[in-house]
Structure 1
Amino acid sequence: MHKAGIADEIRERIRRGGVFDGLIPCETAHIVIDLQNGFMGKGQVMEVPMARTIVPNVNRISAALRAAGGSVVFTQHTVDDEAIRTWPIFFEHFCGRKRRTSYIEAFTAGSQGHALWPELDVAHEDLVILKSRFGAFVPGSSDLHVRLQERGIDTLIISGTLSHVCCDATARDAMMMNYKVFFITDANATTTDAEHGATLTGLASAFCDVRDTQSILGLIATA
Protein backbone atom coordinates (compact mmCIF):
# COMPACT_ATOMS: atom_id res chain seq x y z
CA MET A 1 0.00 0.00 0.00
CA HIS A 2 0.99 3.64 -0.33
CA LYS A 3 2.93 5.52 2.28
CA ALA A 4 0.44 8.08 3.59
CA GLY A 5 2.62 11.06 2.68
CA ILE A 6 0.44 13.71 4.35
CA ALA A 7 2.12 17.06 4.96
CA ASP A 8 3.32 17.42 8.57
CA GLU A 9 0.99 20.27 9.49
CA ILE A 10 -2.02 18.35 8.17
CA ARG A 11 -0.90 15.16 9.91
CA GLU A 12 -0.77 17.02 13.23
CA ARG A 13 -4.36 18.13 12.73
CA ILE A 14 -5.40 14.53 12.11
CA ARG A 15 -3.60 13.39 15.29
CA ARG A 16 -5.76 15.77 17.28
CA GLY A 17 -8.82 13.63 16.55
CA GLY A 18 -9.97 14.20 12.99
CA VAL A 19 -12.81 16.35 11.73
CA PHE A 20 -15.88 14.35 12.74
CA ASP A 21 -16.55 12.78 16.12
CA GLY A 22 -18.29 9.74 14.69
CA LEU A 23 -20.91 8.49 12.25
CA ILE A 24 -24.39 7.00 12.20
CA PRO A 25 -24.17 3.74 10.20
CA CYS A 26 -27.70 3.84 8.77
CA GLU A 27 -26.95 7.32 7.41
CA THR A 28 -23.57 6.31 5.98
CA ALA A 29 -22.54 4.86 2.61
CA HIS A 30 -19.23 3.31 1.63
CA ILE A 31 -18.56 4.53 -1.92
CA VAL A 32 -16.15 2.18 -3.70
CA ILE A 33 -14.80 4.05 -6.71
CA ASP A 34 -14.03 2.24 -9.97
CA LEU A 35 -12.36 -0.97 -8.76
CA GLN A 36 -12.87 -2.51 -12.18
CA ASN A 37 -10.81 -4.93 -14.23
CA GLY A 38 -9.62 -2.13 -16.52
CA PHE A 39 -7.86 -0.48 -13.56
CA MET A 40 -7.00 -3.62 -11.60
CA GLY A 41 -5.91 -6.35 -14.01
CA LYS A 42 -2.30 -6.92 -14.99
CA GLY A 43 -1.56 -5.45 -18.42
CA GLN A 44 -4.86 -3.55 -18.58
CA VAL A 45 -4.95 -0.17 -20.30
CA MET A 46 -5.26 1.74 -17.00
CA GLU A 47 -3.59 -0.73 -14.65
CA VAL A 48 -2.97 0.60 -11.14
CA PRO A 49 -0.95 -2.19 -9.46
CA MET A 50 -1.29 -0.62 -6.01
CA ALA A 51 -5.08 -0.85 -6.30
CA ARG A 52 -4.92 -4.63 -5.95
CA THR A 53 -3.37 -4.24 -2.49
CA ILE A 54 -6.26 -2.22 -1.05
CA VAL A 55 -9.02 -4.73 -1.81
CA PRO A 56 -8.87 -6.50 1.60
CA ASN A 57 -9.33 -3.16 3.38
CA VAL A 58 -12.16 -2.16 1.04
CA ASN A 59 -13.92 -5.46 1.77
CA ARG A 60 -13.41 -5.05 5.53
CA ILE A 61 -15.02 -1.61 5.50
CA SER A 62 -17.93 -2.80 3.37
CA ALA A 63 -18.59 -5.80 5.61
CA ALA A 64 -18.50 -3.75 8.79
CA LEU A 65 -20.79 -1.04 7.48
CA ARG A 66 -23.31 -3.52 6.05
CA ALA A 67 -23.44 -5.36 9.36
CA ALA A 68 -24.09 -2.06 11.14
CA GLY A 69 -26.99 -1.16 8.83
CA GLY A 70 -25.18 1.12 6.39
CA SER A 71 -25.05 1.13 2.59
CA VAL A 72 -22.33 0.06 0.14
CA VAL A 73 -22.12 1.53 -3.36
CA PHE A 74 -19.82 0.49 -6.20
CA THR A 75 -19.25 2.91 -9.06
CA GLN A 76 -18.15 1.84 -12.52
CA HIS A 77 -16.34 4.28 -14.78
CA THR A 78 -18.30 4.04 -18.03
CA VAL A 79 -17.68 5.28 -21.58
CA ASP A 80 -20.51 5.52 -24.09
CA ASP A 81 -21.30 7.60 -27.18
CA GLU A 82 -22.88 10.35 -25.09
CA ALA A 83 -19.80 10.66 -22.88
CA ILE A 84 -17.52 10.88 -25.91
CA ARG A 85 -19.76 13.49 -27.54
CA THR A 86 -20.19 15.71 -24.49
CA TRP A 87 -16.68 15.42 -23.00
CA PRO A 88 -14.30 16.05 -25.92
CA ILE A 89 -11.83 17.97 -23.73
CA PHE A 90 -10.90 14.70 -22.04
CA PHE A 91 -11.15 12.33 -24.97
CA GLU A 92 -9.35 14.61 -27.45
CA HIS A 93 -6.75 16.25 -25.21
CA PHE A 94 -6.10 14.19 -22.07
CA CYS A 95 -6.92 10.65 -23.12
CA GLY A 96 -4.17 10.45 -25.74
CA ARG A 97 -4.71 9.27 -29.30
CA LYS A 98 -2.73 6.04 -28.92
CA ARG A 99 -4.63 5.00 -25.81
CA ARG A 100 -8.05 6.37 -26.76
CA THR A 101 -9.41 3.31 -28.58
CA SER A 102 -8.20 0.86 -25.93
CA TYR A 103 -9.56 3.09 -23.17
CA ILE A 104 -13.00 3.32 -24.77
CA GLU A 105 -13.13 -0.42 -25.37
CA ALA A 106 -12.06 -1.19 -21.80
CA PHE A 107 -14.71 0.95 -20.13
CA THR A 108 -17.68 0.31 -22.39
CA ALA A 109 -20.47 -1.36 -20.44
CA GLY A 110 -20.43 -5.11 -20.98
CA SER A 111 -16.70 -5.34 -21.63
CA GLN A 112 -14.34 -7.37 -19.49
CA GLY A 113 -12.50 -4.21 -18.42
CA HIS A 114 -15.71 -2.52 -17.29
CA ALA A 115 -16.65 -5.33 -14.88
CA LEU A 116 -15.99 -5.04 -11.16
CA TRP A 117 -12.82 -6.73 -9.89
CA PRO A 118 -13.81 -10.29 -8.93
CA GLU A 119 -12.06 -10.16 -5.52
CA LEU A 120 -14.46 -7.47 -4.32
CA ASP A 121 -17.18 -8.66 -1.95
CA VAL A 122 -20.41 -7.41 -3.53
CA ALA A 123 -23.67 -8.22 -1.74
CA HIS A 124 -27.10 -8.39 -3.33
CA GLU A 125 -28.26 -5.31 -1.41
CA ASP A 126 -25.36 -3.14 -2.57
CA LEU A 127 -25.87 -0.45 -5.20
CA VAL A 128 -23.90 -0.47 -8.46
CA ILE A 129 -23.79 2.93 -10.15
CA LEU A 130 -22.51 3.74 -13.64
CA LYS A 131 -20.74 7.10 -13.92
CA SER A 132 -19.55 8.88 -17.04
CA ARG A 133 -17.21 11.49 -15.53
CA PHE A 134 -14.39 11.27 -13.02
CA GLY A 135 -16.56 12.70 -10.23
CA ALA A 136 -19.76 10.81 -9.49
CA PHE A 137 -21.60 14.00 -8.47
CA VAL A 138 -20.94 16.08 -11.59
CA PRO A 139 -24.31 16.81 -13.25
CA GLY A 140 -25.03 14.09 -15.79
CA SER A 141 -22.31 11.76 -14.50
CA SER A 142 -24.54 9.45 -12.46
CA ASP A 143 -27.65 9.26 -10.30
CA LEU A 144 -25.59 8.67 -7.15
CA HIS A 145 -26.83 11.75 -5.29
CA VAL A 146 -30.48 10.87 -5.90
CA ARG A 147 -29.95 7.27 -4.81
CA LEU A 148 -28.16 8.34 -1.63
CA GLN A 149 -30.84 10.86 -0.74
CA GLU A 150 -33.50 8.17 -1.17
CA ARG A 151 -31.69 6.21 1.54
CA GLY A 152 -31.26 9.17 3.87
CA ILE A 153 -27.46 9.15 3.52
CA ASP A 154 -25.49 12.17 4.76
CA THR A 155 -22.06 10.61 5.40
CA LEU A 156 -19.70 8.98 2.89
CA ILE A 157 -16.64 6.77 3.22
CA ILE A 158 -14.55 6.96 0.05
CA SER A 159 -12.27 4.19 -1.20
CA GLY A 160 -11.07 3.07 -4.63
CA THR A 161 -8.90 4.26 -7.50
CA LEU A 162 -7.39 6.52 -8.72
CA SER A 163 -6.82 8.48 -5.52
CA HIS A 164 -6.01 11.75 -7.25
CA VAL A 165 -8.59 11.53 -10.04
CA CYS A 166 -12.00 9.89 -9.57
CA CYS A 167 -11.75 9.41 -5.81
CA ASP A 168 -10.55 12.96 -5.21
CA ALA A 169 -13.12 14.48 -7.58
CA THR A 170 -15.99 12.57 -5.98
CA ALA A 171 -14.88 13.40 -2.43
CA ARG A 172 -14.49 17.12 -3.07
CA ASP A 173 -17.86 17.48 -4.75
CA ALA A 174 -19.54 15.41 -2.04
CA MET A 175 -18.31 17.72 0.71
CA MET A 176 -19.49 20.78 -1.24
CA MET A 177 -22.91 19.11 -1.55
CA ASN A 178 -22.91 18.94 2.27
CA TYR A 179 -22.01 15.31 2.83
CA LYS A 180 -19.64 14.44 5.66
CA VAL A 181 -16.78 12.67 3.90
CA PHE A 182 -14.20 10.22 5.23
CA PHE A 183 -11.31 9.48 2.85
CA ILE A 184 -9.40 6.31 3.68
CA THR A 185 -5.61 6.46 3.35
CA ASP A 186 -5.02 2.73 2.89
CA ALA A 187 -8.18 1.93 0.92
CA ASN A 188 -7.45 4.33 -1.94
CA ALA A 189 -4.70 3.85 -4.50
CA THR A 190 -3.08 5.48 -7.50
CA THR A 191 0.07 5.16 -9.59
CA THR A 192 2.63 6.84 -7.31
CA ASP A 193 3.15 7.63 -3.63
CA ALA A 194 3.64 11.29 -4.53
CA GLU A 195 0.22 11.61 -6.18
CA HIS A 196 -1.44 9.72 -3.33
CA GLY A 197 0.21 11.85 -0.67
CA ALA A 198 -0.66 15.10 -2.40
CA THR A 199 -4.28 13.97 -2.61
CA LEU A 200 -4.44 13.16 1.09
CA THR A 201 -2.89 16.52 2.00
CA GLY A 202 -5.28 18.49 -0.20
CA LEU A 203 -8.38 16.66 0.98
CA ALA A 204 -7.42 16.78 4.66
CA SER A 205 -6.85 20.53 4.49
CA ALA A 206 -10.47 21.47 3.68
CA PHE A 207 -12.62 18.64 2.35
CA CYS A 208 -12.45 15.33 4.21
CA ASP A 209 -11.73 13.57 7.45
CA VAL A 210 -8.70 11.56 6.32
CA ARG A 211 -8.28 8.30 8.28
CA ASP A 212 -6.94 4.78 7.84
CA THR A 213 -9.00 1.60 7.69
CA GLN A 214 -8.57 0.68 11.34
CA SER A 215 -9.77 4.11 12.41
CA ILE A 216 -12.94 4.04 10.33
CA LEU A 217 -13.69 0.47 11.48
CA GLY A 218 -13.43 1.75 15.04
CA LEU A 219 -15.96 4.48 14.36
CA ILE A 220 -18.37 1.99 12.83
CA ALA A 221 -17.95 -0.44 15.72
CA THR A 222 -18.60 2.17 18.38
CA ALA A 223 -21.50 3.95 16.66
Structure 2
Amino acid sequence: MTRALIVIDMQRGFDDLDFWGPTTNPDCEANVASLIAAWQAADEPIVVVRHDSRSEGSPLHPSNPGNALVEAVADAPAAVLVTKHVNSAFYGDPDLHAWLRERGIEELVVCGIQTNMCVETTARMGGNLGYDVTVVLDATRTFDLSTEVSGLGTVTRTADELMATTALDLQAGGFARIATTAELTEV
Protein backbone atom coordinates (compact mmCIF):
# COMPACT_ATOMS: atom_id res chain seq x y z
CA MET A 1 0.00 0.00 0.00
CA THR A 2 1.88 3.05 -1.23
CA ARG A 3 -0.96 5.31 -2.42
CA ALA A 4 -3.61 7.26 -0.51
CA LEU A 5 -6.58 9.39 -1.55
CA ILE A 6 -6.61 12.71 0.33
CA VAL A 7 -10.14 14.20 0.38
CA ILE A 8 -9.94 17.82 1.53
CA ASP A 9 -12.70 19.88 3.15
CA MET A 10 -15.73 18.38 1.42
CA GLN A 11 -18.02 20.17 3.86
CA ARG A 12 -21.63 21.35 3.66
CA GLY A 13 -20.60 24.92 4.49
CA PHE A 14 -19.15 25.34 1.01
CA ASP A 15 -22.68 25.16 -0.38
CA ASP A 16 -23.35 28.58 1.21
CA LEU A 17 -22.82 30.68 -1.91
CA ASP A 18 -24.03 33.82 -0.10
CA PHE A 19 -20.91 33.46 2.03
CA TRP A 20 -18.39 32.17 -0.57
CA GLY A 21 -19.67 33.66 -3.82
CA PRO A 22 -19.95 32.15 -7.29
CA THR A 23 -18.43 28.70 -7.77
CA THR A 24 -17.58 26.33 -10.59
CA ASN A 25 -17.44 22.61 -11.34
CA PRO A 26 -20.82 21.29 -10.19
CA ASP A 27 -19.50 17.74 -10.81
CA CYS A 28 -16.93 17.99 -8.01
CA GLU A 29 -18.89 16.04 -5.40
CA ALA A 30 -19.86 13.27 -7.84
CA ASN A 31 -16.24 12.98 -8.98
CA VAL A 32 -15.00 12.80 -5.39
CA ALA A 33 -17.58 10.05 -4.76
CA SER A 34 -16.25 8.15 -7.80
CA LEU A 35 -12.70 8.39 -6.49
CA ILE A 36 -13.80 7.19 -3.06
CA ALA A 37 -15.57 4.21 -4.64
CA ALA A 38 -12.46 3.34 -6.68
CA TRP A 39 -10.21 3.54 -3.62
CA GLN A 40 -12.64 1.49 -1.57
CA ALA A 41 -12.83 -1.18 -4.31
CA ALA A 42 -9.02 -1.31 -4.46
CA ASP A 43 -8.79 -1.44 -0.64
CA GLU A 44 -6.51 1.59 -0.64
CA PRO A 45 -6.48 4.14 2.20
CA ILE A 46 -8.72 7.19 2.16
CA VAL A 47 -7.72 10.20 4.27
CA VAL A 48 -10.55 12.61 5.01
CA VAL A 49 -9.59 16.16 5.98
CA ARG A 50 -12.02 18.57 7.67
CA HIS A 51 -11.44 22.29 8.16
CA ASP A 52 -12.51 23.39 11.65
CA SER A 53 -12.52 27.17 11.28
CA ARG A 54 -11.65 29.19 14.37
CA SER A 55 -13.92 32.01 13.17
CA GLU A 56 -17.41 31.67 14.67
CA GLY A 57 -18.87 33.49 11.66
CA SER A 58 -17.56 30.89 9.22
CA PRO A 59 -19.89 28.17 7.91
CA LEU A 60 -16.97 25.80 8.66
CA HIS A 61 -16.82 26.57 12.40
CA PRO A 62 -17.41 23.38 14.43
CA SER A 63 -20.54 24.91 16.02
CA ASN A 64 -22.16 25.46 12.61
CA PRO A 65 -23.98 22.77 10.59
CA GLY A 66 -21.76 23.63 7.61
CA ASN A 67 -18.82 22.01 9.37
CA ALA A 68 -20.33 18.59 8.57
CA LEU A 69 -18.90 16.56 5.72
CA VAL A 70 -21.03 16.06 2.60
CA GLU A 71 -22.81 12.71 2.55
CA ALA A 72 -20.50 10.96 0.05
CA VAL A 73 -17.50 11.76 2.23
CA ALA A 74 -19.19 11.29 5.61
CA ASP A 75 -20.09 7.74 4.56
CA ALA A 76 -16.60 6.99 3.20
CA PRO A 77 -14.52 4.29 4.87
CA ALA A 78 -11.84 6.73 6.02
CA ALA A 79 -8.63 5.26 7.36
CA VAL A 80 -8.11 8.51 9.29
CA LEU A 81 -9.83 11.88 9.81
CA VAL A 82 -7.46 14.85 9.93
CA THR A 83 -8.83 18.08 11.37
CA LYS A 84 -7.11 21.37 10.65
CA HIS A 85 -7.42 25.13 11.18
CA VAL A 86 -5.14 26.26 8.33
CA ASN A 87 -4.79 25.64 4.58
CA SER A 88 -2.49 22.60 4.64
CA ALA A 89 -3.64 19.14 5.69
CA PHE A 90 -0.04 18.61 6.84
CA TYR A 91 -0.73 21.00 9.75
CA GLY A 92 -3.60 19.05 11.25
CA ASP A 93 -4.38 16.49 13.90
CA PRO A 94 -3.26 13.76 13.70
CA ASP A 95 0.03 14.55 11.95
CA LEU A 96 -0.63 13.57 8.33
CA HIS A 97 3.03 13.29 7.33
CA ALA A 98 3.77 10.92 10.24
CA TRP A 99 0.63 8.86 9.51
CA LEU A 100 1.59 8.46 5.85
CA ARG A 101 5.24 7.61 6.60
CA GLU A 102 4.26 4.99 9.21
CA ARG A 103 2.30 3.21 6.49
CA GLY A 104 4.91 3.55 3.75
CA ILE A 105 2.62 5.70 1.61
CA GLU A 106 4.58 7.56 -1.06
CA GLU A 107 1.88 8.62 -3.54
CA LEU A 108 -0.91 11.09 -2.79
CA VAL A 109 -3.99 11.68 -4.91
CA VAL A 110 -5.60 14.93 -3.77
CA CYS A 111 -9.16 16.21 -4.33
CA GLY A 112 -11.67 18.48 -2.58
CA ILE A 113 -12.31 22.14 -1.85
CA GLN A 114 -10.93 24.82 -2.44
CA THR A 115 -8.79 24.16 -5.50
CA ASN A 116 -6.56 27.23 -5.07
CA MET A 117 -6.45 27.21 -1.29
CA CYS A 118 -6.34 24.01 0.79
CA VAL A 119 -5.99 21.60 -2.16
CA GLU A 120 -3.13 23.58 -3.69
CA THR A 121 -1.37 24.18 -0.37
CA THR A 122 -1.56 20.51 0.59
CA ALA A 123 -0.33 19.44 -2.86
CA ARG A 124 2.60 21.88 -2.72
CA MET A 125 3.62 20.72 0.75
CA GLY A 126 3.23 17.08 -0.27
CA GLY A 127 5.51 17.66 -3.23
CA ASN A 128 8.04 19.48 -1.06
CA LEU A 129 7.98 16.61 1.45
CA GLY A 130 8.88 14.16 -1.31
CA TYR A 131 5.53 12.58 -2.08
CA ASP A 132 4.47 11.78 -5.64
CA VAL A 133 1.37 14.00 -5.83
CA THR A 134 -1.52 13.99 -8.29
CA VAL A 135 -4.33 16.54 -8.09
CA VAL A 136 -7.61 15.43 -9.64
CA LEU A 137 -8.69 18.82 -10.96
CA ASP A 138 -12.27 17.86 -11.89
CA ALA A 139 -12.72 16.55 -8.34
CA THR A 140 -12.04 20.02 -6.91
CA ARG A 141 -13.88 23.30 -6.93
CA THR A 142 -13.38 26.85 -5.81
CA PHE A 143 -15.03 30.27 -5.83
CA ASP A 144 -14.57 33.61 -7.53
CA LEU A 145 -12.06 35.75 -5.68
CA SER A 146 -11.56 39.51 -5.50
CA THR A 147 -9.40 41.57 -3.15
CA GLU A 148 -7.32 44.71 -2.93
CA VAL A 149 -3.62 44.02 -3.45
CA SER A 150 -1.03 46.65 -2.65
CA GLY A 151 0.45 48.02 -5.85
CA LEU A 152 -2.09 46.24 -8.07
CA GLY A 153 -5.44 47.62 -6.95
CA THR A 154 -8.43 45.30 -7.04
CA VAL A 155 -7.52 41.89 -8.41
CA THR A 156 -10.41 39.66 -9.49
CA ARG A 157 -10.34 36.10 -10.81
CA THR A 158 -13.18 33.75 -11.65
CA ALA A 159 -13.32 30.27 -10.17
CA ASP A 160 -12.48 28.82 -13.60
CA GLU A 161 -9.42 31.08 -13.89
CA LEU A 162 -8.28 30.11 -10.40
CA MET A 163 -8.63 26.40 -11.17
CA ALA A 164 -6.61 26.78 -14.38
CA THR A 165 -3.93 28.81 -12.60
CA THR A 166 -3.67 26.22 -9.82
CA ALA A 167 -3.29 23.44 -12.41
CA LEU A 168 -0.61 25.43 -14.23
CA ASP A 169 1.31 26.33 -11.06
CA LEU A 170 1.24 22.81 -9.62
CA GLN A 171 2.21 20.96 -12.77
CA ALA A 172 4.67 23.47 -14.27
CA GLY A 173 6.19 24.04 -10.84
CA GLY A 174 6.81 20.32 -10.36
CA PHE A 175 4.63 20.05 -7.25
CA ALA A 176 2.01 17.70 -8.70
CA ARG A 177 0.60 16.15 -11.83
CA ILE A 178 -2.90 17.12 -12.89
CA ALA A 179 -5.35 14.33 -13.74
CA THR A 180 -9.06 13.76 -14.29
CA THR A 181 -11.35 11.46 -12.37
CA ALA A 182 -11.82 9.26 -15.45
CA GLU A 183 -8.06 8.78 -15.79
CA LEU A 184 -7.84 7.44 -12.25
CA THR A 185 -11.02 5.39 -12.12
CA GLU A 186 -10.82 3.60 -15.49
CA VAL A 187 -10.26 -0.11 -15.07
TM over 0.5: yes
- Structure number with the bigger relative contact order (C-alpha 8 A, sep ≥ 6) is 1
Contact 1:136–1:142 under 8 Å retained in 2 = no
- Counterpart selection for 2:2 from 24, 27, 47: 27
Residue pairs, 1:125-144, within 5 angstroms: 125-138=78-91, 143-144=95-96
Instruction: Identify the structure with the greater strand proportion.
Output: 2
Residue aligning to 1:61: 35
Structure 1: unaligned runs, 5 residues or longer: 1-25, 81-99
Task: Check if 1:203 corresponds to 2:158.
Answer: no
Per-residue deviation, residues 93-125 of structure 1 (Å, max 9, x unmatched):
xxxxxxx6522xx32325311110124363344
Residue aligning to 1:108: 61
CA, structure 1 residues 112+48, in 2 after alignment: closer, same or farther (shift >3 Å)? Answer: farther
Q: TM-score, normalised by structure 2?
A: 0.81
- Counterpart selection for 1:152 from 99, 104, 122: 104
Residue pairs, 1:27-106, within 5 angstroms: 27-39=2-14, 41-43=15-17, 45-46=19-20, 49-50=23-24, 52-80=26-54, 101-103=56-58, 106=59
The runs of 4+ residues in structure 1 deviating greater than 6 Å are none
CA, structure 1 residues 125+194, in 2 after alignment: closer, same or farther (shift >3 Å)? Answer: closer
Which amino acid in structure 2 is aligned with residue 54 of structure 1? C
Q: Secondary structure at the match of 2:133?
A: strand
Residue aligning to 2:147: none
Instruction: Identify the structure with the greater helix proportion.
Output: 1
Structure 2: distance between partners of 1:208 and 1:38: 27
Residue aligning to 1:214: 182
Task: Check if 1:122 corresponds to 2:75.
Answer: yes
What percentage of residue pairs aligned between the two structures are identical? 28
- How many angstroms does 1:131 deviate by? 1.0
Count of residue pairs brought into register by the alignment? 171
Contact 1:172–1:207 under 8 Å retained in 2 = yes
CA, structure 1 residues 184+63, in 2 after alignment: closer, same or farther (shift >3 Å)? Answer: same
Structure 1: distance between partners of 2:10 and 2:22: 10
